[in-house]
Each structure stands twice: as C-alpha cells, then as structure tokens.
Amino acid sequence: FAIVTIQMMLVNGKTREIGVMRSIGATRKDILIIFIFQGMIIGAIGAGVGTAAGLGYTFYAKETKMSFNNSLPLEVSYNWEKIIQTAVLSFILAIIASLYPSYRATKLLPVEAMRTV
C-alpha cells in the first residue's frame, strides 16, 4: 500500500515532466519503464533495509537471550532460505505495487499534463 501511495505521489508530482517527455517523443512504454524502475529501487531498498533490520533484531535477541514476560528465553535460529525468499518476495511485491501508478502515468496526455502547475 505504501509503495502505491509513494508512486502515485511521484506521478502526480511529475505530471508536467511526463507531459514534456511525451511531447518530445517519449513513448508510453518509456514512461512505464521509468516508473517501474523507480518501484524496483524502492523495493530493493525496502527489502534490504527490512532484512537487515530483522536480522539485526534477531541477532540482538539471540545474543542477549531476550525473554518476554519472564518466560523462557527466546530461541532464535536462522533459516537463510526463508530469509532470502522473503526478501525476494517483498521485492517482487514492490514491483507489482508499482504497476498501477506506472500505468496511470502512461495515460497522461502530453498537452493536459503540461497545463498542470
């Protein structure tokens, strides 16, 4: 949801630039690729930071033998296959989430887009 919102804000903020690009010859496919690539960058950063933060927290929990409500200490084990799968899945979902805003950017008419302030 956050990626769609960010991408929609980018499209709305760059409406005039999209109009200029379209008027000088950029195709709808070019615009689509630009915004999908931005979604890929957001997804890669999000997957990387999220994975690093999760691993950092679990490493801290493992080293300090963290427990909750005076229960047994938290047992931590790393399943690297699942960690990588989760990071890749979140990256793919970010790309999928960027499709609608990217498609919407391609539908802007050059003349109408350049009229916006």
DSSP bridge pairs for 86 = none
Q: What is the pLDDT of residue 73?
A: 66
Question: Is the model more confident about 108 or about 55?
Answer: 55
Q: What is the pLDDT of residue 93?
A: 93
Which DSSP letter does residue 107 get? T
Q: What is the pLDDT of residue 63?
A: 79
pLDDT at 74 > cutoff 70? no
Q: What is the pLDDT of residue 67?
A: 63
Q: Which pTM value belongs to this model?
A: 0.78
CA nearest 28: which of 100, 114, 97, 104?
104
Q: Which residue has the tokens 């003349």?
A: 111
Q: What is the pLDDT of residue 111?
A: 82
pLDDT at 45 > cutoff 70? yes
Q: What is the pLDDT of residue 68?
A: 66
pLDDT digits over 78-105, tens only? 899 999 999 999 999 999 999 999 999 8
pLDDT digits over 16-41, tens only? 888 889 889 999 999 999 999 999 99
